[in-house]
Amino acid sequence: MLDAQIKDALIRIVGQQNYTDSLIDMVSYSYDASEHRARPSCAVWVENTAQVSEVMKLADREKIPVTPRGAGTGLSGLSVPAHAGIVMDLTRMNKILELRIEDRLAVVQPGLVYADLEKALAPHGFFFPPDPSSGKVCTMGGTVGTNAGGVKGAKYGTTRDYVLGLEVVLADGRIMRTGGKTIKNVSGYDLTRLFVASEGTLGIITEIALKINPKPTVTTTAMASFNDLEDAGRAVSEVMRSGILPSVLEILGRETILAINQNTDLKLPEVDALLLAETDGYTKTETEFQMETVLEVFRRNNPGMVKLATSPEEAAQLWTARKSAYAVLARIKSHFVLEDVTVPIGKVPALLKGIQAIAKKHEIQIATFGHAGDGNLHPQILYDGYDPEQVRRMEAASDELFKLAIELEGTLTGEHGIGLSKARYMTLEHDAVSLEMMRTIKRAFDPNNILNPGKMALDAA
């Protein structure tokens, strides 16, 4: 329970109506979209940078942990208040401050929902390319805090490639700016990049300057099935080597396909893998030319079927399978863990096969789908969380999964972040020197360790 004096001080900063310690808020702020849970002492809704700064000054002085939060859709426990304290909900700071199309610039507040940014850019024919699957609800602060990816990563990269500058409030309440509003900027250390994917552990982001792109108006979509995983994997590598960049290259594994067929009327071919590809541009000639290259790759890798969508309705139909994957898998068992291990593109087949072997060895269901085009797969481990035996097997399978990814020269996480979920695997991927440097940086920014403490293995000595 928070000290009465501190409660009063917080209320003085944000106002009575923007402070809460009521049960219903404390419970909902205990969770994000991961399986972690920890209850905060209180929560505040902040409306501007000044309030954020005052709250941080107070928290730093009193050594109270602060966990920043947007929509709470993180999959690794990033916004779960592991050490209690204050949850700082930034969703009310949700405006677009500036939209300057000729400068390819949008300056936004962290609580802005991704879908609202898209809606504002669409009439100008522009878009923000990273397209996270949670775009309808996720907020830009979290998007920057995790360097969110999405289905367009293979061609357009991730959030990091589009953040030009930030306004950040540090742990002690000091306010600073990083980067700027120019497309190119090499002035001083690139602190912007330090904050992107820092998961709220180095500062609270209160303003984001984003680069935006003109939006291609035409897309061409196709799907191919592969009876053999190796063929699918080879097709992925060859597409990415072929000289064109598809805007989307997604994969659905066998387990996922079976689950989709059991729960929908889609009647997908029950094969080792389905690949969904999309090319984009400004004329049909252009997109079809690029897609022809993709289709040639598919054709020479023993596909079962190859289907090119000839209308927007057909394209939408091809997408339905990929879009329904997460939903269908979520219904199968009472619990699941969604991972996002990423490997070099050429290693995708090995990763897929490795996941199958792990599932078999530990007798647990793992369904895989994901962004084959940039090597970022989503193995989803399905289990009954109320059965301690299944939990044990899930943990053993997870362990092996991360080891496999690292062995394949990959990383623990391509886009969801480390948070709580993968903290204990950090030593698998990072050498002792780099981990020590991360902790040194953390100490420099947050000597009292109050910003989202307990995450990313930054606490361990």
Partner 1 sequence: MEAKYDFERKYREQILRCSRCGFCQAVCPVYGATLRPGLNARGKMLLLKEVMDGRIDLSDELIETLFQCTTCASCTHNCPSGVQVPEIVKTARMDMVNIGSCHPAFTGMNEVLKKHPNIYAEDEAEEFGREKKRQAKYVFFAGCVGLYRETEATEAALAVLDKLKVDYTLIEEVCCSGVLEDVGFPLNDALVQTNIDRILATGAEAVITGCPYCARTLNNKPQYAPLRAQGVLVMHIAQFLQDYDLGVHTHKKVTYHDPCDLGRHCGIYEEPRQTIRKLAPNFVELPHHHADALCCGAGGGVRGAYAKNSIDMARRRLREVEETGAEVVLTECNSCVHNLGNAKLRKQKFTICTTTQFIRDLMEEAG
What is the contact surface with partner 1 in residues (CB under 8 A)? 22-25, 27-34, 45, 71-73, 89, 91-92, 94, 113, 115, 134, 136-137, 326-327, 330-331, 334, 336
The pairing of beta strand 86-89 with beta strand 42-45: parallel
What is the torsional sign of CA 408, 456, 196, 443? negative
Nearer to partner 1, 55 or 348 (CB): 55
Nearer to partner 1, 116 or 167 (CB): 116
Question: How far, CA to CA in Å, does 344 sit from each of 149, 277, 284, 359, 429?
Answer: 16, 19, 31, 22, 14
> Going by C-beta distance under 8 Å and a sequence separation of 6 or more, which residues neighbour residue 27?
39
Nearer to partner 1, 79 or 356 (CB): 79
Full DSSP string of 277-294? EEEEESSHHHHHHHHHHH
**Helix/strand/coil for 30:** coil
- Minimum distance of partner 1 from residue 90's CB (angstroms): 10
Nearer to partner 1, 43 or 236 (CB): 43
* Other Cβ atoms closer than 10 A to 92: 13
- Minimum distance of partner 1 from residue 419's CB (angstroms): 14
* Other Cβ atoms closer than 10 A to 91: 18
- Minimum distance of partner 1 from residue 241's CB (angstroms): 34
- As a whole number of angstroms, the distance between CA 365 and CA 356 comes to 9
Nearer to partner 1, 93 or 224 (CB): 93
- Minimum distance of partner 1 from residue 72's CB (angstroms): 6
Nearer to partner 1, 389 or 436 (CB): 389
Are 244 and 332 contacting, i.e. CB atoms less than 8 angstroms apart? no
Nearer to partner 1, 170 or 330 (CB): 330
Nearer to partner 1, 88 or 235 (CB): 88
Full DSSP string of 332-378? TSSEEEE-B-B--GGGHHHHHHHHHHHHHHTT-EEEEEEEGGGTEEE
- Minimum distance of partner 1 from residue 327's CB (angstroms): 3
- Minimum distance of partner 1 from residue 51's CB (angstroms): 15
In this structure, what token pair is assigned to residue 313? 């309705």
* Other Cβ atoms closer than 10 A to 195: 24
- Minimum distance of partner 1 from residue 138's CB (angstroms): 8
CA dihedral 55, 56, 62, 66 (to 10 degrees): 90
- Minimum distance of partner 1 from residue 75's CB (angstroms): 9
Amino acid of residue 308: L
Q: Which residue matches tokens 């927007």?
A: 312
